[in-house]
Amino acid sequence: MSLTQVPRSAARVRDGRPLQKGRQTKASIVEAALGLATQIGLEGLSIGALAEATQMSKSGVFAHFGSREELQISVIREYHARFESEVFYPALKEPRGLPRLRALFANWMKRTSIEIDSGCIYISGAVEFDDRAGPVRDALASSVQVWHAAMKRAIASAKDEGHLNPDVDEEQMLFEIHGLILALHYEARFLQNPGSIARANAGFDRILRQYGARSSTTKSSKKE
């Protein structure tokens, strides 16, 4: 082998370093963009504003995304990944049925109580893109639909376990639960009414009773 030839393993190490650095840089940009989006909304994001926030050049930021639209979609994906890691996955540790449904709502409320100050991408994004077709709206809607599907599965599981009435309409119950979260954002963030979190929790307990909840401590006999 001549001195000008580089072993394949060495080439991978050499070429992998810029690739890894590039991913880290992009992740840092998305982190900064997510912070901005919670304050000014997805529509307020721009390559220029992000370049200023990250102290990078506009061309440097643009090279990682290619367009403002791709930047917005990357922020939505990151927000969704964090939402799942904080709300959905921890709840899977709970038994099937009502305990898991309660855990999903409790985790959702915990995150929502934090977002009263920082803002929710799902809610602000829905306001910004509700009547605007395109990839950004599609990404937002898809993320919310994935979360809704998870909640409906939890409600159906609670029915199967006998923790809720067998004739419960999963879609209707989900609609009412989601309504509590939307009302909480409006009451606590916009109107700044004290006690909103307690009222949302009380509303959830009332919904469970309405649909025949037996016990929050019922143990499940079924596996995942």
The residue ranking higher by pLDDT, 90 or 23, is 90
Residue 67, pLDDT above cutoff 90? no
Helix (H) or strand (E) holding 185: none
In a domain, 36, yes or no: no
The CATH number given to whatever domain includes residue 100 is: 1.10.357.10
pLDDT > 70 in the chain, percent: 87
Query: What is the domain extent for residue 166?
Result: 72-210
Residue 221: HSE in the Cβ half-sphere, 13 Å Cα cutoff:
4
User: Is residue 16 within 8 Å of residue 8, measured between CB atoms?
Assistant: no
| Residue 50 lies inside a defined structural domain of this protein | no
Percent of the chain with pLDDT over 90: 47
Does any domain span residue 57?
no
- Pairwise CA distance, residues 208 & 101, whole Å: 10
The answer to whether position 48 is within a domain reads no
Q: Which of 16-25, 105-114, 150-159 has the lowest mean pLDDT?
A: 16-25
For residue 131, is it within any domain?
yes
Q: Is 31 contained in some domain?
A: no
Q: How many domains does the chain have?
A: 1
The predicted-structure confidence for 199-219, as pLDDT tens digits, reads as follows 999 999 999 999 999 654 444
pLDDT in tens, 21-32: 778 888 888 999
Half-sphere exposure of 188 (CA within 13 A, CB side): 22
